[in-house]
Amino acid sequence: MPEESRILAILAKLGVNTTRIRWRMYQWEKRWKGFTPEKAVPVQLRWMRWPHKTCMHCGALVDREARACPKCGGRMPSMISYRIMRILGILSPEGSPVTIGAFLFLMWLFFGLGLLMQGASFLMAPKGFTLYVFGAWSVEWILKEKEFWRYLSFGLCHIGILHIGFNTMALLQTGPVIESHIGKARMLVVITVTQITATAATFAWYHRVVQNDDMMTAGASGWLFGLIGFGIAYFWDQVGAARAYRDVLVRWAIYALIFGYFMGANNAAHVGGLIGGLALGIIREPNARTAKAASRIWNIAAAISLCLWIVTLVYMTDSIISNWTPGGIPPRSLE
């Protein structure tokens, strides 16, 4: 009698119901017999064994050594760069989320510079001056200092590692999916518009309602909610996986607003971004007759958005260079 059967017989004599144990052992044995080294790799990473790349422009299979897609002619990264970018979520077979990848890069770039300037304490307790230098927003800085570039800049500035970590995970779940459906130009417009509506809602709430002009805010959650709102409206009347994804976004919005309320977060920005995203998401896809004109409008809006962000980055760079102080200690003239 095999050792396992002997043990089961002893357990049965002791009054143990061994039926479930036998079933689980059978399932384990079945899985073990069907085990292969390939199955040891998670499904999400099995593409790393493939001897080819997937074109981020048209989805065609491309030879590992090729630097251009034979189907659409699009440029392809080297195999090493391709794998690194896919792991980071910057590339996917469904499309190339260039826009969301660029914003994530900028978020972490400025966070890293903030850490370099203030030191390790920036991870959990950023100083107000450091946040000021790296683009945080307050009503006072808008009205008194006329620093209107902060309307966009605070969407790239974060208050600690937990803040940017949470936003990054949420953006990786929403950004690539939405950008694969609407393209990088419209994605840039959605991010820009919803960041502005988030800031406008923040201004209205803290200046007009609670009258707290000193309130400082930062973070990408305004335009993150914009993407959530856009996704809810865009996928609203679709079926299958798109409908299921819409339902997930609805739950995210509800849970995040409740969580933000109890955490004292800037829910004004969240609601403002959400409304802006919903408004953009209800714009229907053009038909064949209007597709060309619609594409031209979106491209013009994307060009304007890009210019706004370039100006914002110039001002942010100037702020960092002009106010860089080790330890994040403000000069006496700014205290």
Give me the CATH number covering residue 66: 2.30.30
Assign residue 199 the CATH number of its domain. Answer: 1.20.1540.10
Instruction: Tell me if 119 sits within 8 A of 328, measured CB to CB.
Output: yes
Read off the pLDDT of each residue in 105-119 and give the average, rounded to a whole number: 96
pLDDT, residue 86, reads 64
For residue 127, name the pLDDT band (cuts at 50, 70, 90): very high
- Out of 7-21, 142-156, 278-292, which region has the weakest mean confidence (pLDDT)? 7-21
Instruction: Please say if the pLDDT value at position 44 is more than 60.
Output: no
pLDDT in tens, 80-93: 777 766 665 545 54
Q: Which of 87, 120, 149 is the last residue of a domain?
A: 87
Instruction: Please say if the pLDDT value at position 1 is more than 50.
Output: no
pLDDT in tens, 257-293: 999 999 889 999 999 999 999 999 999 888 888 888 9
Is 259 part of any domain? yes
pLDDT, residue 304, reads 98
Instruction: Please say if the pLDDT value at position 189 is more than 80.
Output: yes
pLDDT in tens, 294-313: 999 999 999 999 999 999 99
pLDDT, residue 332, reads 61
Instruction: Please say if the pLDDT value at position 55 is more than 80.
Output: no
Is 285 part of any domain? yes
Instruction: Please say if the pLDDT value at position 318 is more than 80.
Output: yes
Read off the pLDDT of each residue in 132-156 and give the average, rounded to a whole number: 95
Q: Which of 18, 53, 87 is the last residue of a domain?
A: 87
Q: For the chain, give the mean pLDDT.
A: 86
Is 69 part of any domain? yes
Residues 311 and 181 in one domain: yes
Read off the pLDDT of each residue in 19-24 and give the average, rounded to a whole number: 74
Residue % of the chain over a pLDDT of 70: 85
Read off the pLDDT of each residue in 132-151 and give the average, rounded to a whole number: 94
The domain tally of the chain equals: 2
Residues 73 and 189 in one domain: no
3-state secondary structure the chain: CCHHHHHHHHHHHCCCCCHHHHHHHHHHHHHHHCCCHHHHCCHHHHHHHCCEEECCCCCCEEECCCCECCCCCCECCCHHHHHHHHHCCCCECCECCHHHHHHHHHHHHHHHHHHHHHCHHHHCCCCHHHHHHCCCEEHHHHHCCCCCCHHHHCCCCCCCHHHHHHHHHHHHHHHHHHHHHHHHHHHHHHHHHHHHHHHHHHHHHHHHHCCCCCCEECCCHHHHHHHHHHHHHHCCCCCCHHHHHHHHHHHHHHHHHHHHHHHCCCHHHHHHHHHHHHHHHCCCCCCCCCHHHHHHHHHHHHHHHHHHHHHHHHHHHHHHHHHCCHHHCCCHHHC
* Domain hosting residue 278, numbered range: 99-328
For residue 116, name the pLDDT band (cuts at 50, 70, 90): very high
Residues 132 and 169 in one domain: yes
Q: Which amino acid is at 290?
A: T
Residues 167 and 69 in one domain: no
For residue 94, name the pLDDT band (cuts at 50, 70, 90): very low
Instruction: Please say if the pLDDT value at position 223 is more than 70.
Output: yes
Is 310 part of any domain? yes
Identify which has the larger pLDDT, 191 or 2. Answer: 191
Residue % of the chain over a pLDDT of 90: 56
Instruction: Please say if the pLDDT value at position 333 is more than 60.
Output: no
